[in-house]
Structure 1
Amino acid sequence: MTATPPPGEPLIALRGVTKTYGQGQAAFQALRGVDLSIEAGEFVAIMGPSGSGKSTTMNIMGCLDVPSGGSYLFRNIPVERLDRNQRALLRRHYLGFVFQGFNLLARTSAQENVELPLLYRGESAASRHALAREALASVGLAGVGHHTPAELSGGQQQRVAIARAIVTRPAVLLADEPTGNLDTHTSREIMELLTGLNRDRGITVLMVTHEPEMAAYAHRVIHFRDGRVASDERNGGTG
């Protein structure tokens, strides 16, 4: 896979993407022909009511699901033609994930949680330790690597989750309601952190959110409705 998209090509492109769950009378069409392009280095917020297709689209872009029809191009490579192992490799090397519920291992230290993606990649113990410490420091958590999630606040847990997502130096960070379990002040801190990663490291950020205040940090806001893109607007961003 090339290090950068071919000249003139977007980092991510969805072309006529459909997704249907079930068969026959029980079939549900979650996506009804989505066309979408994401350029490298963008910060994009994805919004829409429940059942609008935003989470399905994020799952497809995150290689957690495949379209029923149409094409998903990542760096001009048709992802729908990749097998399960190839999609796993793409996730492992190019994508990072942050979730509303943090998804940290409860009995494992912050350091070990951050090291986990590196373990899957076969990194040496020394490399894992160094990269995890660096990632924790970059999110403002230097010195807390020995703490378990239960010993950390919600905001700190989400910072650990972000450190885990960026420790592999991904091209894209997919954030699903990253501030959904946080108070307003902490939510703003997390958004400032994501904005900084986008600005300073060039990480492309794709974020699902229900909160207009959080979406205001993005360069673009895409609204989904009934399985389609309802609007795609540029945004000044507040970060």
Structure 2
Amino acid sequence: MSVATTPDSMPLIRLRGITRDYGEGATKFRALKGVDLDIEAGDFVAIMGPSGSGKSTAMNTLGCLDTPTAGQYLFQGVPVQSLGRDQRARLRRRYLGFVFQGFNLLARTSAQENVELPLLYRGESVADRRAAASRALASVGLAGWEHHTPAELSGGQQQRVAIARAIVTEPAVLLADEPTGNLDTQRSHEIMELLWRLNVDQGITVLMVTHEPDMAAYAKRVVRFVDGVVADDARNPHPTAEVAHAA
């Protein structure tokens, strides 16, 4: 898949009239009911909403893990809904990184090897994979932990490995689904600080689903879903980490 340079007037991501239906006939359920949403490059967006609001379906659509029933999804000006399965897979590998609540690390595999996996799928050489994985682990504060398995790491460290794996391909967008859901308060704030740093220092666009207002407060923008539509979309003038670093 070839993605063109985004025109100055075009956001990185644009959703227009996105609907998503599940089931058929009397059992059909519409999870998204005409979603319009723009995401600019370099933004940090928290997506919130009650259970069943459509926020996870929207995130899966943005991550090309699900396809909408109708509407238009543009990524850097390219209509994603017109891409075939293999093309969407290439878009995910090249432009998107994923972080999940459950870490999703291979249990018997070292941190280094876990982080190398996306590069292995892309066919990169052993030397290039090792160098890139080491850089990614260092960037999340885990230099020296390369040979530890997940069982030898704390929950916060495991999530850092998962984040390193997500950014090792240098994605344009990092999609984080409840990234602090399995962590205590202190580790949650450490992970949010790390995501904030990746956004500010490396310019990675961050899209994060969360149900925790204190985690959403790290974002530059909060989008709230209710009943399958965007009910509120507001800028956060004082993100938590920004205020802390300014003090």
TM over 0.5: yes
Specify the alignment match of 2:181 in structure 1. Answer: 180
Q: CA deviation at 1:93?
A: 0.3
Report the RMSD for the aligned CA atoms in angstroms.
Answer: 0.7
CA–CA separation in structure 2 for the residues paired with 1:189 and 1:67: 34
Q: d(CA) in 2 for partners of 1:184 and 1:4? A: 40
| Gaps in structure 1 of 5+ consecutive residues | none
Q: Which residue of 1 aligns with 2:200?
A: 199
Give the aligned partner of residue 93 of structure 2.
92
Code of the aligned partner of 1:185: Q
User: Residue type of the partner of 2:37?
Assistant: L
Relative to the length of structure 1, the TM-score reads 0.99
Shift of 1:3: 6.0
TM-score (norm. length: structure 2): 0.96
Counterpart Cα distance in 2 of 1:84 and 1:21: 19
Which portions of structure 1, spanning 4 or more consecutive aligned residues, are displaced by more than 2 angstroms? 1-4
Identity within the alignment, %: 74
Q: Is the 8 A contact 2:3 2:78 kept in 1?
A: no
* Mapped contact 2:4–2:78 kept (Cα < 8 A): no
1:79 lines up with 2:88 in the alignment? no
Unaligned runs of 5+ residues in structure 2 are 242-247
Q: In 2, distance between residues paired with 1:170 and 1:84?
A: 19
Post-superposition Cα deviations, 1:47-73, rounded to whole Å, max 9, x if no partner, equal 001110000000000000110000100
Q: Could you report, residue by residue, the CA deviation over 1:150-209 in whole angstroms, capped at 9, with x for unpaired residues?
A: 100000000000000000000000000000000001100000000000000000000000
Residue number in structure 2 paired with 1:149: 150
**CA-to-aligned-CA distance 1:117-156 (integer Å, 9 cap, x gap):** 0000010000000000000000000011101001000000
User: In 2, distance between residues paired with 1:128 and 1:172?
Assistant: 20
CA distance in 2, matches of 1:129, 1:7: 36
> Closer, same or farther in 2 for the Cα pair 1:191/1:3, shift >3 Å?
farther
Give the match for residue 238 of structure 1: 240
Matched, 1:54 2:55: yes
| 1:1-239 correspondence runs (5 A) | 1-2=2-3, 4-236=5-237, 237-239=239-241
How many equivalent pairs are there? Answer: 239
Q: Distance in 1 between matches of 2:144 and 2:99?
A: 22
Measured after TM superposition, the shift of residue 2 of structure 1 is 4.0
Aligned mates of 1:63, 1:117 — CA distance in 2 = 16
Separation in structure 1 between the aligned mates of residue 5 and residue 132 of structure 2, nearest angstrom: 23
Question: Which secondary structure state, in structure 1, belongs to the residue aligned with residue 207 of structure 2?
Answer: strand
- How far apart in 2 are the matches of 1:21 and 1:79? 20
Offset at residue 4 of structure 1 (A): 3.8
Residues 4 and 77, structure 2, Cα contact 8 Å, conserved in 1: no
Task: Give distance in 1, aligned partners of 2:8 and 2:32.
Answer: 29
Task: Give 3-state SS (helix, strand or coil) of 2:214's partner.
Answer: helix
Instruction: Report SS of the residue matched to 1:97.
Output: strand
